[in-house]
Structures are given as structure tokens and as C-alpha cells.
Amino acid sequence: MNNTLIQTMKLSSAALAAVLVLAACGNADETAAQDGGFPEPNTFGSTERVVPGDVGAMRTSFAPVAAAASPAVVNIAAVSSRRTDPFFEMFTGRSRQQASSIGSGVIVRSDGVVVTNNHVIQGAQQITVTLADRREYRAEVLLADPQSDIAVLQLQDVEGGLPVLPIDDQEQHLVGDLVLAIGNPFGVGQTVTNGIISALNRTNTGISDAASFIQTDAAINPGNSGGALVDMDGDLIGINTAIFSRSGTSAGVGFAVPAQTVRQVLESALGGAEAVIRPWLGVRSEPVTAEIARSLGLPRPQGVLVTSLYPGGPGDRAGIQEGDVITAVDGVEINDASGLNFRVGSRRPGERAQIAVLRDGRVQTLNATVQPLPGDRDPDQVLIERGLMAGATVAAYSPALADRIGGDAFAAGEGVIVTRLSGRGYAARAGFRPGDIVREINGREIGSVSELQQALAASARWEVTIERRGQRITGRFG
């Protein structure tokens, strides 16, 4: 079983480094679709929530929820072909198959639609799902969304209705609410742990720059990835995804993708989409620090300062201006760019979002109709095989494509963007990076892939100007 380390968080000088660990690893990739709706949320008793007063009350409050939710939580084994033994492949012509992931998932439709983490099934050639009652099914990927780390699977040859865990649609959770984490830690079998919601709307975790997570102290360990975070109504409120840990095991700081995001990916998958299309506001921002707050006369650091706008974008059309402080979206306080991206991106394209901005000491509300980023997010791509940029895969620049590969969506005009690099190619050794936009070669403006190819072939010496994160860099090669 592999543990994937994503990011090291530096603590005080007297502390050890904390490491963000994906709760399980894995691998897959195919598509299908099926119509249908979502199950209704469960209701266990009154809507008035009462904290258990003793051990006996806790036992009686957890047992019914665990019994109702557990049958819909499944184990996932993803198998991929890897070149672990080149001699085996040389003499047999085949590559060995390895079980590279054991994770968890949640059945959300009775015909066998399952949600899990993208990293559990990523790259897998075969996926096997085992139910709590030990029935096994092969699964195909309907949609995998790396940005949210959510994947949607369809079980094959399902006969009869399967147990389902309803997705929460209330979003009324509070810090301190009791929750259960259900999954398959370390591959030992289905396990239920309990805890509370430690924090909401947690951003800047290093997992995603456009996500907002539920934080919990319920024990989450490798193998729990893709499993359920369940509230006391027995509804799915999140998909367990990652932990902060010094050792790679639970330290009481776990993160779950909230139900709102899960539902967005699920709707896209069931609608037959090949990708989740998220709208944007077209606003570049930075957090309001204590120093900025003092300069603006704010009583405390709050919101994000608008530093630039995409011309003609949703924010620009709504009347947002550079220097505005965005304090809330749809009534939810915003304090960093990730929170802003999440709140806007969780809406459907074409919907209106209420943007609260502070301008000249006064708060006003603007209505922005959010839209997808302009341009083709998946254009034709070309591998450069010779010359200065050998080993670079390039495509015509668009904000949508740049955002998909982690580049700069605010670059203006036409150009050619580097989407991938081969580690052995000359382009990587020359210092090019994915997301670089080639602007000029030997003084000639580059507006298309064909112009790039012609300029590279016309000379054996090149003066190249690229744009990287808003800065222009010129280098000479030959």
C-alpha cells in the first residue's frame, strides 16, 4: 500500500514537519453515463440536535447512524500495469499487473453509481468494488475530476437495488457537530470512527487551490480515501480525502471534500459530461493583510483585495473594480483567493452570484453572472520533436486551457502555451516549464502552433521571449 505525500507544512523551529498525506493512493480511466436522480436525505428523529449527555446516550445515537450508512460504503481495489520487471516484459511481451490502491467509496444511486477520490482510481486499468456484504463488481469510470479529487464510477452488471447513502443538501453544519468516518483503513475492512467537525471552509491546505474542505478529528488513515463522512442524520456530508500527519497515520486533522462539490461532480458525470465545467469571476486577488487593512481603514483584516480583472469577464461586467475588497460571496465570508474560487466555481455556469465589495468605505452588493473561462480547455496539442523545444507539448493558448493545466488564465492575447514536458527533452533542460506562453522567437510574434514550428525551423539560434505568471523573460539559445 502506497502513501502519497503531497506537501510538507513547516511548523515552529521546535516542531517536526507536518506532512499532508492522501489517505490512500490509486489509479483508471473510461467513460459511461446513466440517467437518474439523487436519493432523498435521511431523517433520524427530530431536526433539533442534542449532544449526548453520557456514554449510554452516545452509544444509542451512533449505532443507528452507523447501521444505516455502513452498507453503502464500499472497498475499492484499483489495478494497473507497471513495468516493475523489465526482463519479464522483454521475454513475455507483457507487463505485470499490480494492485496499486486499496481505498473506499460510497454508493449514491441504487443502480451502482459510486463516488470516491480521483487519486484512488487514477490510471487504473481494472477497478474492483467490494460491498459491505462481500459482493464484488467491476467498475468503470464515468468522470474523474482531479481538481476536486472526486471520481464517479458505475458498477457493472448490477442486479437489484443497492444500498444508498443520501447526499446532504442542507449545508447547515456547525463546528462541533458529531460526525462518523466510514472506510477501509489499511485494508483491514470496513471501520467506523467518530469525531466532530473541527473547522469548515478550510482552504490553503495544499490539496487544491479552488477547494474548501471540511476538517474533522475523526480518525482517517490510509485506505479511508473516498470513504464517507456522515452526520447524525445519516447523510453524506463529505468524501474523506487527506490528512495532516507527522507519521502518515491519523493525527486528528483530516479533510473531506464537502457534499456540495461531490454533487457538482456527480451531476456532471450523470449528465454525460467529460469534464466538470466550473465558472469563474475573472478576478485576480490577494488576501487583505493587517497592513492592507490599516491602509484601507478597516477594523480588521477581512476579504480579498482585487488586483486585476479579466477584460470583459464576469467581474468586469458586474462592475467590480481594481482596489475593491471582496468580503463575501452569497453571504459567505471570503478571506483568500481559494475561498473565492470555490464559492464562485461551485455555482452553475450562467447563475448569478451576489458579490459583497467594500469600496470607499462603503459595502455594496453587485450581481455577477458567472461563466466558464473563455476558450477551448482541451484543444489539439502538438509534440515538438526537434530543435530548441524538443520534448515540449504545446497548444494554442486560452484562459480555459491555462487554468486546466495550472497556468496563468489572465494572460492577454494569442500565443502558444507549453502543456507538458518530457524530462529527457531539450526543452526541459533549456528551462521551459508547463504553463509558459511563448510570445516571440527572434523578434517574431508567435500566435499559433504553426508559427512556432516555422520560427524554430528557420534558424539554429534563437532569442525566445516567454510569459510566465505575468512576467516576460527573454533567453538566447544556439
Q: Rounded to an integer, what distance in angstroms lies between the CA atom of residue 320 and that of residue 297?
A: 20
The amino acid at residue 76 is I
265 φψ region: left (φ > 0), alpha (ψ -120 to 50), beta (else): alpha
Instruction: Answer for the pair 215, 195: CB distance below 8 angstroms, yes or no.
Output: no
DSSP class of residue 443 equals T
Q: Rounded to an integer, what distance in angstroms lies between the CA atom of residue 126 and that of residue 118?
A: 14
Q: Rounded to an integer, what distance in angstroms lies between the CA atom of residue 326 and that of residue 283?
A: 10
Q: Rounded to an integer, what distance in angstroms lies between the CA atom of residue 377 and that of residue 409?
A: 11
The amino acid at residue 283 is V
Active site residues: 119, 149, 225
How would you classify the pairing of strands 283-287 and 382-383?
A: unpaired
Nearest residue to 276 (alpha-carbon basis) of 291, 263, 287: 263
| Continuous H helices in 4-150 | 55-69, 86-92, 118-121
In the block, cell 496563468 appears at 408
Instruction: Answer for the pair 230, 236: CB distance below 8 angstroms, yes or no.
Output: yes
DSSP class of residue 123 equals B
Torsion of CA 395, 401, 406, 410, to 10 degrees: 110
